Amino acid sequence: MWFFSDVATHLSLWLLALPAHLLDFLGLWEPLAMRLFPHFYAKVSIDYHAVMHSYKKKLFSRLSDFAGPSGPLKVLELGCGTGSNFPFYPRGAKVTCTDANPHFQEYLRKSQAENDHLHFEPNLVAPAENLSEVGDASVDVVVSTAVLCSVNSVQKALKEVLRILKPGGAFFFLEHVCADPLTWTYIFQKIYDPSWKCVFAGCNLCRETWKDLEKAPFSEMKLQHIMTPFLWRLMGPHIIGYGIK
């Protein structure tokens, strides 16, 4: 039965994407999407965050292990979006929020006000591939959840991560990835990837992000493949873990 349920879901996605494809053809979609996507994401991501709660809680329980000998833990999050990760960060941590889309600021400020156990540095509107406002070896931890799927270059983003991390610092990640090629999920990912990218602001369903992480010059990499019970099987396959500089 799940097969027919997935077909219905994918058909709905295709119909939803039709206006976006038309506007994209006319060159009107990108600026409109930048403004609309944060409001759309804030609603459709509620189920995703609920499903991923236990995974995040376990993963981020290790953040404090990487605090420096003096001062609070310094965290930089890539693509903060609506700030769904803030409740998992340890009390007193100094958090720098980055996002390439400036229209997330409304949701970000609200979430920051609700998480007063943290100290927030000024927000940065910047893509993960260009964090030039952040100094070399200046943060203890970098966090990325469902972000590397939509960056223009995973390799460049990881290069920036390694640049800004202190020696011994860690990059924590939880990312949805490409499915096993011998599954129906993989076939559907390939079919619906163009429409998914259009609707979800460049999100790529077919990215083998683990390969880039394993090739990056981290001194140690803890990476695990998991299948999450997400409603849409398109986003079921995930990787979770952390790499140490």
Per-residue pLDDT, 211: 98
Domains identified in the chain, total number: 1
Distance, CA of 83 to CA of 231 (rounded, Å)? 22
Per-residue pLDDT, 3: 44
| CATH number of the domain to which 170 belongs | 3.40.50.150
Query: For 110-157, what is each residue's pLDDT tens digit?
Result: 999 999 999 999 999 999 999 999 999 999 999 999 999 999 999 999
For the beta carbon of residue 179, count every other beta carbon within 10 angstroms. Answer: 22
Reported pTM: 0.89
Per-residue pLDDT, 221: 98
Of the pLDDT bands very low, low, confident and very high (cuts 50, 70, 90), residue 2 is very low
Locate 219 and state its tokens. Answer: 């001194």
Query: For 29-85, what is each residue's pLDDT tens digit?
Result: 566 667 778 888 888 888 888 889 999 999 999 999 999 887 899 999 999 999 999
What residues make up the domain containing 161? 2-244
Kindly report the backbone phi and psi dihedral angles of residue 171, in degrees, each rounded to the nearest multiple of 5, phi listed first.
-110, 110
Distances (CA, A) of 157 to 113, 151, 166: 28, 8, 16
Residue 30's Cβ-count burial label (10 Å; 0-12, 13-18, 19+) is exposed
Q: Is the pLDDT of residue 88 over 90?
A: yes
Per-residue pLDDT, 14: 60
Per-residue pLDDT, 1: 42
Percent of the residues in the chain that have a pLDDT greater than 90, as a whole number: 66
Per-residue pLDDT, 138: 96
Query: For 7-31, what is each residue's pLDDT tens digit?
Result: 555 556 666 666 655 655 555 556 6
Q: Is the pLDDT of residue 4 over 50?
A: no
DSSP string, the chain: -HHHHHHHHHHHHHHHHHHHHHHHHTT-HHHHHHHHHHHHHHHHTHHHHHHHHHHHHHHHTTGGGG--SSSS-EEEEES-TTTTTGGGSPTT-EEEEEES-GGGHHHHHHHHHH-TTSEEPPPEE--TT--TTSPTT-EEEEEEES-TTTSS-HHHHHHHHHHHEEEEEEEEEEEE-PPPTTSHHHHHHHHHHHHHHHHTTT--TT--HHHHHHHS--SEEEEEEEE---SSGGG-EEEEEEEE-
The mean of the pLDDT values for the chain is: 88
